[in-house]
Amino acid sequence: MKQFLQTRRLFVIVLALGLFTMAARGATDPDLWWHLRTGQLMVATHQVFHTDPYSFTRFGQPWMDQEWLSQVFIFGLYRTAGWGGLIVAFGALIAVAFLFVFSRCPGRPYVAGSITVWGALASAPSWGVRPQMFTFLLASVFLLLLERSYQRPNLLWWTPPVMLLWVNLHAGYALGIALLILFMVGDLLDQAFGIEDAPQLRARFGKLGLAIAACVAVVPLNPYGVGMYGYPLETLRSRAMQNYIGEWASPDFHQHQYLPMLLMMLATLAFPVLSPRRLRPRELLLLVVTTYAALRSVRHIPIYALIAVPILSATVQAWLEERGVAQRLGVGQTHQSRTKNWVNAVLLASFLAFTVARLHYVVRGQAMTEQKNFPAATVAFLSARQPPSPMLNHYNWGGYFIWKLYPEYQVYIDGRADLYGDSFMDDFAAAYYLKGNSWRELLERWSIRTVVLPPDAPLVTALQAMPDWERIYADEQAIVLTRTR
């Protein structure tokens, strides 16, 4: 028990609890709902989807459900343990990913832990109960394997089985291959600048090359075969995703939630200059690539944090040591009195109690979270009144309608932007914002009989002024209009 309550070990436990408490949050991702429905149908039918069943605009067209295994996991956990199980599982998943980051940080645990929490705050806007968190965890695993493989080269042989799991969980698997390639290029740069011995690196290049080949080779081992090779590139090239989906846009530093990321980027510029520790070419390459990715898209900020935290921790640690700050902190003491053990025990019990209370609050509040973020009352009205279809719905509500209203209603659009394509997304945006006459054309082309949109939607304003449209429901979140003739 005394060993368990040692200050350093207690610090790691408290860090893990803190990360879990930060990550355990209500489910607000608009795509979660169609993930749940898809997982439910796959569990019931024992088949994956190859065509779209949910929309009347894309019904029967080819659909690559690249997150199929994540959806089976999400629905299975929801069916077994409800919202509490999902919130706990994904909170733990995120916390474990950051504990791997912490384990990669050199120097004293207090410095490494503080910067790990900083990285967690920077990436927090992207967290949630969503398949992307599997990519975050497995990217953290890949980085741990790659860095530890310098001392234990055989760890590289774990990358292909991890890749096999990854490619069936999420199309972010391409990040793993990219990390392998970046490490190889980084090692070449290290050799070119005389930082690594050529004989050692030649042996490593061979194993890295084989690991890359093996990882690429296992990609087709999924229900969609070789088609998965091109899927990540098609997603990255999608203009509509960049234009219409918030997390694919660049971070807006006027928003407070992105301030920790901005400060971390500034710190990674400043401390390599101030610190006696200089960045290796490999570290600089990884930092530059992930910084660019994070500045280009909010979605990539967590990946930036995986790279930046250990690098920043190393430079800050060296800077503190140069000034004798770390020694004055007295963190090297080994003696631990009985009083300190009691204090640590009380501290640990307090953190555990807070974690349990916070988790209880989040799980109990999930119903309110759903009502706040999604049109629950509107769905109840639609279920009871059954207005005529086809129904035009808001993009962010499509997944929720799939979970709540399918198969009685098929949606016009939902979060599967890859299925709908750039032109379709453009048409929907043009109609929504009353650009030209496109909204009339859209309503006629799809024979829309019911419209469910937010009250401030320009299209709603236009339809309410027309004699052949009638408002049959309205609240703060949504307005329902039906065509009278």
The tens-digit pLDDT sequence of the chain (485 residues) is: 455 556 678 889 999 999 999 999 999 999 999 999 999 999 999 999 999 999 999 999 999 999 999 999 999 999 999 999 999 999 999 999 999 999 999 878 899 999 999 999 999 999 999 999 999 999 999 999 999 999 999 999 999 999 999 999 999 999 999 999 999 999 999 888 877 666 667 778 889 999 999 999 999 999 999 999 999 988 888 888 888 888 888 999 999 999 999 999 999 999 999 999 989 999 999 999 999 999 999 999 999 999 999 999 999 999 998 887 755 554 444 555 677 777 778 888 988 999 999 999 999 999 999 999 999 999 999 999 999 999 999 999 999 999 999 999 999 999 999 999 999 999 999 999 999 888 999 999 999 999 999 999 999 999 999 999 999 999 999 999 999 97
DSSP 263: H
Half-sphere exposure of 405 (CA within 13 A, CB side): 29
Pairwise CA distance, residues 244 & 427, whole Å: 12
- CA distances from residue 267 to 254, 256, 257, 313, 432 in whole angstroms, order as listed: 19, 17, 17, 10, 42
* Per-residue tokens: 97: 């990913």
Pairwise CA distance, residues 149 & 154, whole Å: 7
- Tokens 């004699």, residue located: 467
Sheet holding 469-474: strands in order across? 391-393, 450-453, 479-483, 469-474
pTM, two decimals, is 0.93
Determine the length of the chain.
Answer: 485
The sign one gets for the Cα dihedral 429, 430, 431, 433 is positive
The sign one gets for the Cα dihedral 174, 180, 183, 184 is negative
Torsion angle in degrees (nearest 10) through CA of 102, 108, 111, 114: 40
User: 162 and 176 in contact (C-beta within 8 Å)?
Assistant: yes
